Amino acid sequence: MKKPKATLFGATVTYLRSFQTAPSFLSLWLPLCLVAINLLLKFRHLGVQSLAGDEVFSAYVSQFDVTTIVKYLSQGNNPPLFEIMLHYWIKVFGIGASSVRVLPCLFSGLTVWFIYKVGTDFFNFKTGIISAILYTLSNYHMYFAHETRVYSLFLLLTCISFYAYMHLIKSPSLTFRIIHALTLILLPYAHYLAFFVLFIQLFLVLTLKEIRTKILKQYLINLAIALILFIPFIFIFITRFCDSTIHGTWLHPVTSLGQLHDVLKYLTNNSVTNYLVFMVVFWLVVQRFINETISSGLIKYLIAIISIFFLFYGISIMGPMPYFWEFTSKPSAMISYLFFMVAMIIFSLSSKTISVYTKVILVWFFVPLLVMFVASFWVPMFLDRYLIYITGGFYLLIGIGVSYLEETKPLKIGLLLILLLCITFETNVDKKRHVAEVVQKVNELRTSNTIVYICPDNFDYNFAYYYNRHYFKDIDDPDAKTKLRKHLASQNIYPISNTRQLDTAMLKKADKIIYIDAAADFVYPGNGIKAKLDSILNLKQQYEIPEIYRVIEYINHK
């Protein structure tokens, strides 16, 4: 009998198994290695791209004292936790682009620890390592690791919360009670959408008996503590919620299932090939589950036919399948698709063959995804960054699904998925917000008698950050925004929002006018600024700076 040839993977598995006699390797050293790899990859291009958009807003506000930060942010949609943390960070490390991005990068790198630990502690090593590697190779999370905003912290706190929550189900201890309580306290101060996390966990406690009998009292105590400590912000939250419900948000309502499936595409590195393969893997998991849990042959085949139909339905949204694509735009088709998904989730939650921990992960990902999608037909909130807190559940579901399909078999599907993400992985995901180039172009064009107009007017933070850092850091005045505008006005730079703010007398005296269009029509539809300038000035040149910026150079009629 011939001795079987050792494969690279087989040798690797044997090597890893030899470490199982030393628990510290799989429980400590391996997750530490994963964190280190994440940080190395995410630090690589940390300061390459411009600080832009709301990143600059966070950096600006974080310069205030803590009391002012809380007061300033209470007027908008941002709780203050991240900016308070950033406040103390920049006191030590400064306000440079690389410096302020280290903090979100650290949060993003630490998240892989908890994804791995959830996978290994409640499922198996294969689930943990696949989930952790897929997360590590995600361009979506690389993007948010390089963004000075709350989102990477939001995901980290969510993953810690579910890790502690599942440990309470497994074997309640004082340590995990405290950790879980702390996450519930901190989450709403990180992002208002964190109430979805609290709701998901409460939903699980109330609907699943195996959870309710173990942690109902403890969860309600932790939830009560979190809500009591959120009282200082509860009126602000209710006001913002009512305002968004009545007047809508800056987002547009969802119109098709394409936006729902975009989420899967984002999480698989924005690749159609990856999207199609991951869709098929999800379908294989569903098929096997149906075959193993439904005894009736007729029902089994009926569900199989429906699931095949909806597989093509999902593929058609991104792939070249015209007939199915036309079908996806019909309301009846969307409703039936969503109904099928909800029915499968309910069936899974009621199944005795699925572990309680798998049910937790299913609810973590699918329930807020579907609730936010359906709600966004009326109150738009369906945006990739607003869904970041469910993405830990996504990678864990993939790990669970691959482990379920392959069990004792060699890892083939898992390696395929890892390879696909590896091929499409980038350590420098282009944000397409090159503010530094905009300011550089303006400086090249302007003369001593040039007027610069900027629209939208809230682009002033971005412009000032790269134009003159002193203007950006000069916040000692109680009304710092006014002071920033005065600094810019001293250089003939004026942020505006409409044509009424164009000073025609001043325009006549200038020999050159530069208009910076930073997605002006999106923020202020029908503002008419460019049309007005075109009518009274000579257009000399227009410079496009991908993806949304235009620097338009005019000369006067003389």
Rounded to whole angstroms, how far apart are CA atoms 290 and 297?
Answer: 10
Residue 155 contacts residue 111 (beta carbons within 8 Å): yes
Instruction: Please give the C-alpha separations between residue 91 and each of 63, 323, 465, in angstroms, as whole numbers.
Output: 8, 58, 17
Torsion sign over Cα 418, 422, 427, 431: negative
> The tokens of 25 are what?
């390797």
Which residue type is seen at 18?
S
Give the CA angle between residues 47, 91, 106 to the nearest 5°: 45
> The tokens of 171 are what?
């074997």
Could you state, in order of their start, the residue ranges of all structural domains in the chain?
20-424, 435-555
SS3 406: helix
| Distance separating the N- and C-terminal Cα atoms of the chain | 96
Rounded to whole angstroms, how far apart are CA atoms 554 and 529?
Answer: 13
Rounded to whole angstroms, how far apart are CA atoms 13 and 29?
Answer: 17
Residues 6+ away with beta carbon under 8 Å from 58: 82, 83, 86, 100, 148, 149, 150
Q: What is the pLDDT along the chain (558 residues), one digit of tens a residue?
A: 344 444 444 444 454 455 555 677 788 899 999 999 999 999 999 989 999 989 999 999 999 999 999 988 988 788 999 999 999 999 999 999 999 999 999 999 999 999 999 999 999 999 999 999 999 999 999 999 999 999 999 999 999 999 999 999 998 899 999 999 999 999 999 999 999 999 999 999 999 999 999 999 999 999 999 999 999 999 888 887 887 777 767 778 888 888 888 899 999 999 999 999 999 999 999 999 988 888 777 888 888 888 888 888 888 777 666 666 566 667 887 888 899 899 999 999 999 999 999 999 999 999 999 999 999 988 888 999 999 999 999 999 999 999 999 877 777 899 999 999 999 999 999 999 999 999 999 999 999 899 999 999 999 999 999 999 999 999 876 677 889 999 999 999 999 999 999 988 888 889 899 999 999 999 999 999 999 999 989 999 999 998 899 999 998 865
**pLDDT for 3:** 43
* CA 499 to centroid of chain Cα atoms: 35
SS3 433: strand
Which residue type is seen at 264?
L
Rounded to whole angstroms, how far apart are CA atoms 84 and 64?
Answer: 9
538-545 and 450-455 beta bridge pairing: unpaired
Q: How many CB atoms lie within 10 A of CB 484?
A: 22
- pLDDT for 134-182, tens place per residue? 999 999 999 999 999 999 999 999 999 999 999 999 988 999 999 999 9
Q: Which class for 256: exposed (0-12), middle (13-18), buried (19 or more C-beta within 10 A)?
A: middle
**pLDDT for 322:** 61
Which residue type is seen at 466?
Y
SS3 408: coil
The residues that bridge with 552 in the sheet, in sequence order, are 515, 542
For the chain, give the longest Cα–Cα distance: 96
Rounded to whole angstroms, how far apart are CA atoms 334 and 328?
Answer: 6
> The tokens of 437 are what?
């180039």
SS3 420: helix
- Is 435-555 CATH 3.40.190? no
Rounded to whole angstroms, how far apart are CA atoms 149 and 138?
Answer: 18
- pLDDT for 229-245, tens place per residue? 999 999 888 887 887 77
